[in-house]
Structure 1
Amino acid sequence: MTRGVVACKKRWYKINKAVAQFAGCYDQASRNIRSGSNADDIKDQLPTQSGGSKRTKVSATGAYSSSSNPETPLADELGVDSPVRPQGSKKSKRRGKGKAQMSEDFSERKSSVVKKLSLMEDIKNVREKELMEREKEREEEKEHRAKMMAIKEKEIQIQAAMKEQELQTQRYIKEMEIKAKEREMDMQILNADTSTMSEKRRALHEIACEKIMAKWFT
């Protein structure tokens, strides 16, 4: 069946009026709804309206259209309060369970955060202890090196002193050897046989003996 222009306009007027009425009810239900609700909760808050509809003939072709009861008030008219459906026990239980679940989730997250912070604190303490131990080991190693260097320096000094003492001993031995040879030669001069010497040589021998006696006994 083909509708004419007038029928389409009236049909559009009916649809537009119904949509405006639904939008007003939906807006009022949205204002009355609490936080945390969804579209189904808003739908449950929509007011129920009673009213009949009648079919009217709108064109010569015999097309009919239904029109709402004009006495039915719109939800957004001033001075008219739309009835609100009370919350059911199941819905209250769902909200209670939701709050309990949120509280439980929050407690679990809080416990997890506390455990992580405690673990981080333990790791920090362990690292600080390791750093302190490493620093102590470095200080001990530094002191040990200083002691070893002091001991080595002392050993070098002792070795130098021993070497100097050895050189002095060698010089003394050499001097003693030289003196022993010199004494031996002097003793040979002192013990020389003068009976076979000439007068001149005997006189020289006496002078040499006097010098030897002065060198060794004065």
Structure 2
Amino acid sequence: MKVLRNLDRVTMRLSEISGAVQIWTTHPKWRKPATSASSKRTKLSSSGAYSLEGNNDTPTSDDCEPVRPKGTKTAKRKGKRKATAAKVEEYKALQVSDLRRMNIMETVNEIHQKDIETRQRELEAKQAEMDLQVILVDTTKMNDTQRKIHAKLLEKIMASN
């Protein structure tokens, strides 16, 4: 009886251990990667010679390539590619709109210049009218200080013309 009990305990323990081993081999943490090739050298003989090819028992990564993200060099090369037709058309449309804006700005600038010239002519006409009034003023009714001021104004008018 004791032997049977011990035998039952041993078989139960073995089944527990085999279950644990099965969990270890199927769990991702404990599973060996299938696509990685070992870069370690292994001893071929007891003399100490190493193999040059690495571990030949592991599968190579030729079966399936892992998908990797684009590197910075690839992204830069993609940015330096030739422009597509859609981008060229978009660029040309932007150029046309910029040219239209420049034409509109030039016409607005011309209008402002004409407006400034017109105002300047009006100011010159008012100044000429005021100068004419100063020239035509009757000086007989003025005292000496008023005549001196009038004479200085006449000199300024003559100097400006």
TM range (shorter): 0.3 to 0.5
Q: Which of 1 and 2 has greater Rg?
A: 1
What is the TM-score normalised by the length of structure 2? 0.42
Greater relative CO (CA pairs within 8 A, separation 6+): 1
What is the TM-score normalised by the length of structure 1? 0.32
